[in-house]
Every structure is written in C-alpha cells, then in structure tokens.
Structure 1
C-alpha cells in the first residue's frame, strides 16, 4: 500500500504549501529531519574556553556593550526544538503561534539575555567598495592585523583568520593600550559577525562590520 495514501491529507487542495512542510517527509520515513542553525563561533569559544580573556579586553567589551554576549558563553542549541518552533513561525508578524497562544521575540528580550545596549542611535552605515589592499590596511588599523588576500572573499572576512590572530597575540598588563583596543575590536567583530549575525556560510564575517568596531578609540 502506498504510504502516502495512509498518511497524506484526504484533500490536498486546502494545503497549498504541503510540499514544503516537514510533514511531507513522514510517508518517506524521514522522521528526524532537523534544521541546522548557522553559527561561526566554534573556534572562538574553543580558544577562550582554554585561555582566559584579559581583564583589560573584558573592560573594553563592557564599555562598547558586548561583554554580556561574551559572558553568556557558547550556547548549546536544541536543533529539534528550533525545528519545531520554525513550524509555528509566521514571518509576516514575526510571531510564534502555539495552541496556548502567541509569542513574539522583542528587542527587549534580546537586551535582557545578552545585556546589549538598545538605547540611543542605531548602528547603520553604507558598505563601501574597497580594494583588497585597502581592506588589508583598514583591518590593520582597526583590528591589528592585515589578513591574507585568500581569506578576503568578496565583502567578507573568514572568521578563522580573526581567531588565528587573536590566538597569536598575548595581552598583558604591559601591552600598549592601542593593541588592547584593536584586540577587543577583533573580539567584538567575532561576537557580532560569528555568533549574533553570522552569514549564510557560517564561516565569514562581513567586512563592513570592521568599520562598526571602531566605536571605541
């Protein structure tokens, strides 16, 4: 007997998007298909879980508003729960629809969890085109190293290159303040581009974020 004749809807005309719904996998026996969340923070936490971050760097992260994100550490994701929540998600209203009611994640929720500043002017800007050499010089100025051309892909910078730079620099009480600031900017870039807003590859951070990391001077 055709499994779809048993598990499928009797009248498919009312389910216009059935082919895109997870329940369409049931007749094929694929009951454990889960969504995979994008994240590019694995190497970051692998390093800092074994090496304590300098208090001088932590102080700068606190001043620019990213210390709460760092303190939360590497989050363990429940992929099955996330998959179930996506089924209840309505993108038009940014709301989860449950049997017991509705739930919406607000900016205040994010602020409470990560202790992010949400008051004041928004962080915006224009992504200017630059040559590879210009981006290398920009990175050297603001985050302390000039990445190789092969880790600069289009408008993105590989997060592994940033992590490698951080692991090669030792911050002590005698380290010049300018170097500490550059180091903290690189950490903030990884937290923002690798954890909070990773790109579709989960391996690169947008280079325009480098410009946003110059808020602390």
Structure 2
C-alpha cells in the first residue's frame, strides 16, 4: 500500500501484510473471493455420551471437572457467513485487532471467559515433542495413542498411518469409543480412555477446529494424560492465541 486507506494508519508501511489481505480486493474495487466458514459444532451432537459407557454419570463428572464441558453447549449448527465475512475483512493479524470505522477493537481473555466459560489462566497449552513430524515424533505419537486410549500398538500405528501425520481421525475416535445404542456384545473401554477420546474429539470440534474437519492432532492427547490436570490448563488463552 502506498496510500492511506479509510480508518487505517496514514503510513501504509505499518500494515505490510495488507497486500495479501482479503480486504485488498475491496480496496481495489474487485470482487472479493468467497470465504469458507469452518464450523464443526454439529459433529459434537453425533457423539452420544449416554451410550459410550455404562457409568454415564461418572463419565460426565470427569468431563465437568475438566472445565471443557461448557464447550458442548457453546457449539452451534449454523453460522452467519455474511457477518463473519464482514469481520474477517476488518481483522488485521499484525495488530490482532478489528479495524472498524470508529476505531480498533480486539477480543480479550475476559471475553473468552465470559462467552465460553473455560479457563483462561493456568498452565500453558503446548507440547513441544510433536511440533514437527519426524520418525521419533511418529513413534512417540503411536505409543501415546496406545497408552492413553487403551489400544494396541498395532492399532495405534495403523491409525497414524491412515491419518498420514501426527493425527488421528475423528471418525475413528467416534466409532471406537462411542458404540451405537443397543449394539450387542459391546465391550466398553476403561472410563479414562473413553473420557480422553471424547475430550480430544470435543477440542477438535471447537477450540482447535481446522480446515480438514476430519482429523485431530495427537499433541492435544498429551495434555489429556492426567485427567485431574485438564482443568488447570489455560484453554481459553490457547484458543485466543
């Protein structure tokens, strides 16, 4: 940008990334590309907590203790794409603020806490071991899936191979730890494993939803190892970041 733009800084060099911003098309009087809104909230309802374990109350107590149970109610099936697109056009990643006609506005931790009712202070949500794909990280991921979800090394390795990365498929989590209601000869996994699988699925549908909509990072599973510690993480801060 060589010239100032409405409601923006007079010095165009302050927002160097604007040349790649979606709003540049509007500034140049061009047709803006259609934006795709990512929303996996409807998938949460596909997991029936009433059927995935005989001790439903015990399972729900652990989920509530995690501090992530409010995400179940915060999910939505439909999104207003027009409103979201309008805010995307106003969002500047360099300043992490919305540039509106009356000034700048940003989302604060207090906003996240009030809207989502999840912890915004506490332990940092980070797992360095799975920052990039290597043979070592792949081996660690397979062992972690086997240990925390209660499956064999062979099954864990097969799933990681199918997912083609340090991820597992959401459909695998749902089919493996959420048996259909009324299915016969059902052998239920340990409650801890079922809880981890569900929380991993829940996080992938809400705070850490991605474009694929079908996979979830195994790095998140590491944070669910000690179920008593899950509520001590600053999930809200991670989502805002």
Structure 2 residue aligned with 1:142: 148
Q: Which has the larger radius of gyration?
A: 1
Larger CA deviation: 138-147 vs 54-63: 138-147
Structure 1 residue aligned with 2:227: 216
The answer to whether the 8 A contact 2:41-2:77 is kept is no
Unaligned 5+ segments in structure 1 are 1-11, 171-176
SS of equivalent residue, structure 2 residue 47: helix
Structure 2 residue aligned with 1:60: 62
The answer to whether the 8 A contact 1:198-1:204 is kept is no
Unaligned 5+ segments in structure 2 are 6-17, 182-187, 229-241
Matches within 5 A, 1:10-21: 14=3, 17=19, 21=24
Choose between structure 1 and 2 for higher RCO, CA contacts under 8 A separated by at least 6 residues. 2
TM-score (norm: length of structure 2):
0.66
Q: 1:82 aligns with which of 73, 81, 84?
A: 84
- Structure 2 CA distance for partners of 1:95 and 1:59, relative to 1, 3 Å: same
Kindly state the Cα deviation for residue 119 of structure 1 after the two structures are TM-superposed. Answer: 2.5
The answer to whether the 8 A contact 1:43-1:160 is kept is no
- Structure 2 CA distance for partners of 1:18 and 1:91, relative to 1, 3 Å: closer
Matches within 5 A, 1:153-192: 153-168=164-179, 179-192=190-203
- Structure 2 CA distance for partners of 1:126 and 1:133, relative to 1, 3 Å: closer
Cα distance in 1 for partners of 2:28, 2:214 equals 30
Q: 1:121 aligns with which of 123, 126, 150?
A: 123
The answer to whether the 8 A contact 1:151-1:161 is kept is no
Cα distance in 1 for partners of 2:180, 2:162 equals 19
SS of equivalent residue, structure 1 residue 154: coil
RMSD of aligned alpha carbons: 3.6
SS of equivalent residue, structure 1 residue 185: helix
Matches within 5 A, 1:29-108: 33-48=33-48, 54-108=56-110
Structure 1 residue aligned with 2:26: 23
Count of aligned pairs between the two proteins: 199
SS of equivalent residue, structure 1 residue 121: coil
